[in-house]
Amino acid sequence: MIHDRIEKVVMVLSLLGFDGFVTIDRAEPEFTTLKEFYDHYNDLRSLLVIGLGAAIVDYQLGVGGAYAFWNCLKDILKKHNFTIGSLDEAYSVLLEFMSCKVNARLRNTKIRRIHRLFDSGFVKYLWNEAYKYFDIEPMKIWRKLALCMGSDMSSKTISFTMKILDLISLIVNGYYAYFPVDLPIPVDEHIARMSVYSGILMLNPRPKTPTEIGSAALRFRNLIVRGWSEVARGVSSIISKRISIFRIDSLIWQLSKAASSVGYARHRAVEAMKKRLVEIGINEDVALKIASELAHEM
């Protein structure tokens, strides 16, 4: 980790303020789908089961990535009139969701994960008990999910699933769940690449292509987690608000997607990242400073 780069990233991200991070979360593809579901069918238990059930298989996506994934789920929910009245209906909808083209890669593995989520008792636990305190005791649910899925709490899909729980709290309550600041960021190739491009992680020798950079950076997952955790703590301290790593994840993932659309070519990537932030409501000057800092080593 490069500590002076972490400090500079902390300073520039602090310019967003708490409301800026909320704005970015509301632009996540999963937030849009889950909010529309809840707006149509005002049932917390169904929202938790569908949201967490989808999140646990949000990996190895086909063409269109996360946007296609969550849009396909929305289309299926719409076909069912946004109504999930029982666990059997939720199970049926999630299995139907597995037929989406975006889930073609590792489809059978994903179906087994859905089976395990239900067969392990986790979904019944959500439906009968955990929905009552999901926002107050989210770590209890995190531990239960990891145990039921036979995974480490810090694994990418488990961590990402808890980010979905956090967004569900924002949708339902208007505030985030009470997660601690110091959480493991869900590390995928976007987070890995931006760790290098921001200067938080240094690779020596450094590969040439974005794909190679992402693959190489993933070998240093622990350093990536520690680096972005420092960023989250630093931003929280400066703005005097709890900014969990999930807020950082939303920002970095969306900006990496924007930069990837122009092949991570620095000048064009800065413009693409700035444009993304401005589109969702971030001040143009702040957007430019953030984009430039995150592309420092691009």
pLDDT at 184: 87
pLDDT at 1: 64
| 144 & 186 share domain | no
pLDDT at 61: 86
Query: pLDDT tens digits, the chain, 298 residues: what are they?
Result: 688 999 999 999 999 999 999 999 999 999 999 999 999 999 999 999 999 999 999 999 888 899 999 999 999 999 999 999 999 999 999 999 999 999 999 999 999 999 999 999 999 999 999 999 999 999 999 999 999 999 999 898 999 999 999 999 999 999 999 998 778 898 999 999 999 999 999 998 899 899 999 999 999 999 999 999 999 999 999 999 999 999 999 999 999 999 999 999 999 999 999 999 999 999 999 999 999 999 999 9
CATH number of the domain residue 164 falls in: 1.10.340.30
Query: What is the number of other CB atoms lying within 10 angstroms of the CB of residue 288?
Result: 17
Q: What 8-state DSSP symbol labels residue 183?
A: -
Distance CA(197)–CA(7), nearest Å, equals 15
Q: 21 is in which domain, residue-wise?
A: 3-25+182-294
Query: What is the number of other CB atoms lying within 10 angstroms of the CB of residue 66?
Result: 18
| 35 & 160 share domain | yes
Instruction: Decide which of 137, 156, 173 is a domain's last residue.
Output: 173
| 167 & 191 share domain | no
pLDDT at 183: 86
| 229 & 290 share domain | yes
| 287 & 165 share domain | no
Instruction: Decide which of 122, 153, 173 is a domain's last residue.
Output: 173
| 46 & 144 share domain | yes
| 61 & 18 share domain | no
Give the tens place of pLDDT for each residue, 264-279.
999 999 999 999 999 9
End-to-end CA distance of the chain: 16
| 19 & 47 share domain | no
| 159 & 233 share domain | no
| 271 & 248 share domain | yes
Instruction: Decide which of 133, 150, 173 is a domain's last residue.
Output: 173
3-state secondary structure of 192: helix
Give the tens place of pLDDT for each residue, 54-107.
999 999 988 889 999 999 999 999 999 999 999 999 999 999 999 999 999 999
Q: What secondary structure does DSSP assign to 31-48, as a single string? A: HHHHHHHHHHS--HHHHH
| 143 & 202 share domain | no
Domain count, the chain: 2
